[in-house]
Amino acid sequence: MDARVHSLALACKGFLDDEEGLRLHALAREAAALGPVLEIGSYCGKSALYLGSGAKAAGGSLICLDHHRGSEEHQRGEEYHDPDLYDAEAGAVDSLGHLRRALRQAELEETALLLVASSTSAARLWSTPLGMVFIDGGHSHEAAHADYEGWAHKLLPGGILAIHDLFPDPAEGGQAPIEVYRRALESGDFAPLPTTKTLGVLRRLG
Ligand code: MG
């Protein structure tokens, strides 16, 4: 990964471990040759820098899907609320400006297409087959399963499904992402690839 973009990714706000980020970068680099890479839950752009620089190296595209109003845990009074992202006039979280700034600094504005929408409404309209889907949006049971239902079947054979925040021990974190990972495995449509820390990775079968 380009050293300058890597240092921007390390400095970017977000909740992605560097080893996981570098794995995403390598996966995007491979998958973008097959079709567009889509991430659900861009927030301030940390994962977009890892994924986007991989997609760019392959001459492909990254779609950054996020409503930018923050997940449940980012809202005012919640554990991961960040006052820097609060738009007082709107009375709401707004992370879009941070994403645009990160992409501009990393020279990824030509590679990354921003889709500012809810995952469910975007999935309803989206029909282009995808090379990779990274699920890291809302972590509630409903949101995580809706992301899987809306997007996993849009992957091309050989495409990559990556899911962030897998915690086999419920004491360490919410269970929705790992439920989705197990659901994908049980569907018979995916083969498991090695996991990197809390990042689950599967390949869509033909
Ligand atoms: Mg995450």
- The domain segmentation of the chain, as residue ranges, is 3-204
Residue 81 CA to ligand 1 center (angstroms) comes to 15
Element counts in the chain: helices (H) and strands (E): 7, 9
Start-to-end C-alpha separation, the chain:
29
Beta carbons of 159 and 31 less than 8 angstroms apart: yes
Q: What angle separates helix 18-31 from helix 46-57, to the nearest 10 degrees?
A: 30
Residues 112 and 43: their CA atoms lie apart, in Å, by 14
Q: Establish how many alpha carbons lie within 13 A of residue 130's alpha carbon, considering only the half-sphere containing its beta carbon.
A: 25
User: Any alpha helices (H) in the chain, and if so which ranges?
Assistant: 3-11, 18-31, 46-57, 96-105, 119-125, 141-151, 176-187
The neighbourhood of ligand 1, an ion, using CB within 5 A, equals 136, 164-165
Q: Establish how many alpha carbons lie within 13 A of residue 61's alpha carbon, considering only the half-sphere containing its beta carbon.
A: 13
Tell me the residue type at 110.
Answer: E
Residue 101 CA to ligand 1 center (angstroms) comes to 20
Residues of the chain with pLDDT under 70: none
Residues 180 and 14: their CA atoms lie apart, in Å, by 22
Q: How many CB atoms lie within 10 A of CB 89?
A: 6
> pLDDT at position 33, please?
97
Residue 6 CA to ligand 1 center (angstroms) comes to 18
Residues 193 and 195: their CA atoms lie apart, in Å, by 6
Residue 123 CA to ligand 1 center (angstroms) comes to 20
In this prediction the pTM is 0.97
Provide the Cα torsion 113, 136, 103, 155; round to 10°.
-40
Q: Which residues pair with 196 in a beta bridge?
A: 199
> pLDDT at position 206, please?
87
> pLDDT at position 152, please?
98
Beta carbons of 115 and 64 less than 8 angstroms apart: yes
What CATH number was assigned to the domain covering residues 3-204? 3.40.50.150
**Pick the catalytic residue: 139, 141, 153, 164?**
139
> pLDDT at position 72, please?
86
State yes or no: is 74 an active-site residue.
no
